[in-house]
A and B are shown apart, each in its own frame.
Chain A
Amino acid sequence: MIFDLEIFQITLLSLQISAFATALSLVIGLPFGTLLALGKFPGRSFLLSIVNTGMGLPPVVVGLFVAMMLWRSGPLGDLRLIYTPTAIIIAQVVISFPVVTGLTAAALQALDPRLILQLYGLGASRIQMIWMLWREARLPLLAALMAGFGSVISEVGASMMVGGNIRYQTRVLTTAIVLETGKGEFDKAIGLAILLLVITFLVNWALTWIQQRSVRR
């Protein structure tokens, strides 16, 4: 397989979409997971079980609902987002947000609960207390980030359904693999699959390096 411009464009788009979706999931999931872990309010356990269920959401089901929402005749049809990279990002956020939220909540709940008392007892404000807890739980939080990224870079169903696999616009590595396999172009499909594996490995290797560096320090 020749590494032409199209493959470079597909790879770049895959990375951009999944990185943006993971970052967005982190921005929403980290505070929400923290609220679920530390908050005391009615319905907290129920919300936590919904989030935990969401961690195993099948991407095709997410694709179906996001497509229905963004479809021309759907409630958000006027935004004209269906078959755009933004639609894929929305679907991927729906997939990875529960992963990041659930693992954040689990990471914080695994900390010694007396840490909160100790932090307050040393004069920490609420924000400082939360920052310190995130710092203490940074290893599992980085694992949450890796899991979030892994859940979106590898998914194909939702990207196909809401992105449409349009050449030069919404074709990403996973949907391109499906396309090439469908055409019987196995050598291309295998090449793309190896590329996807290498990228996933490199991203996780970088995150693991950051994680392990903080263990050694």
Chain B
Amino acid sequence: MKALVEIQDLLVRRGEHPALQMEHLAIQNGEVLAVVGPNGAGKSTLLLTLARLLKPERGEIRFNGIQSSAESDTDYRRRIALVMQDPLLFDMTVFDNVASGLKFRGVHKDELRSKVPLWLERLGVGHLAKRRANQLSGGEAQRVSLARALILEPKLLLLDEPFSALDPPTRSRLLDDLGTLLKETATTTVFVTHDLPEAAQLATRIAVIVGNRMRQVSSPNEVFNSPADEDVSRFVNHRQAK
């Protein structure tokens, strides 16, 4: 498999302190990489750096073999899509919300009319197209937020704990649906979570970040059965015990 994203010798600071240090990480085309770790470990920093919403102090990020700084932030970001912990829907209808990213890219209205209902259906919220975003439940809103990202058919999908605010049954259904969709579309995904079973269910590989450094990247089984060091082992056992 060819790497879609390759990170080399990365250092990101937030304020005075290093928020993330990473020697090397390759994200393969089509894979779902779950990023796990304790709170404040640097998981979201990785995601925001990949979205070019944080500037690294040092290091290189290659996207499809090309150094990411070779193109403008907007051009780069138009190949990715970001879904955050809260749906952060705009104060407009569900249809308009899902169409927003395509509108930023100047997509014609006819294409919006054909694509948006399709993606709303795929996420199971087709019946909500005309509803205002503020009239949705938490689960519905997160489905709309996912549709808004997936409709862009991004080369890289970035998910920042998108299920953490949902109740367990809603979360479980959404997780199943998203897993199916990601498989169908073969979308390369980086998925930040602190929920190990969730990571294991969705991910091809798991990256463990502890203390602002990446400690291990391997298959879910390997992370659970052969943790790379004490910190990873402590994190995995602590989380599994919960």
Contacts and interface: CB of A to CB of B under 8 A. Distances in A.
Contacts of A123: 74, 77-78, 80-81, 101, 104-105, 152
A132 interface: yes
Interface in B76-90: 77-78, 80-84, 86, 88, 90
A108 to B, nearest CB: 14
A124 interface: yes
A120 B88 contact: no
A117 B80 CA distance: 13
29 contacts: A114-B86, A114-B88, A115-B88, A117-B84, A118-B84, A118-B88, A120-B53, A120-B77, A121-B51, A121-B53, A121-B81, A121-B82, A121-B158, A122-B77, A122-B81, A122-B100, A122-B101, A122-B148, A123-B74, A123-B77, A123-B81, A123-B101, A124-B74, A125-B104, A126-B74, A128-B104, A132-B90, A136-B91, A217-B132
Interface string A113-157: 011011011111110100010011000000000000000000000
B204 to A, nearest CB: 23
Q: How large is the interface on A (under 10, 10 to 19, 20 to 34, 35 or more residues)?
A: 10 to 19
Interface of B: 48, 51, 53, 73-74, 77-78, 80-84, 86, 88, 90-92, 100-101, 104-105, 132, 148-149, 152, 158
B contact patch SS: mixed
Nearest to A129: B104
Contact of B152 (A115, A122, A126, A217): A122
Contacts of A120: 51, 53, 73, 77, 82
Contacts of B73: 120
Contacts of A4: none
Interface string A52-81: 000000000000000000000000000000
B222 to A, nearest CB: 31
A115 B158 CA distance: 16
A122 B158 CA distance: 11
A121 B77 contact: yes
A122 B149 contact: yes
A94 to B, nearest CB: 33
A7 B152 CA distance: 59
A64 B86 CA distance: 51
A117 B53 contact: yes
B82 A117 contact: yes
Given A132-B90, A136-B90, A136-B91, A121 B84 contact: yes
Nearest to B72: A125
A118 B149 CA distance: 10
Given A114-B86, A120-B53, 13 more contacts: A114-B84, A117-B53, A117-B84, A118-B84, A121-B53, A121-B84, A122-B101, A122-B104, A122-B152, A126-B74, A128-B104, A135-B92, A217-B132
A115 B82 CA distance: 11
Contact of A122 (B82, B92, B132): B82
A120 B74 CA distance: 8
Nearest to B47: A121
Which one of B81, B100, B148, B152 has the highest number of Cβ atoms from chain A below 10 Å of its Cβ?
B100
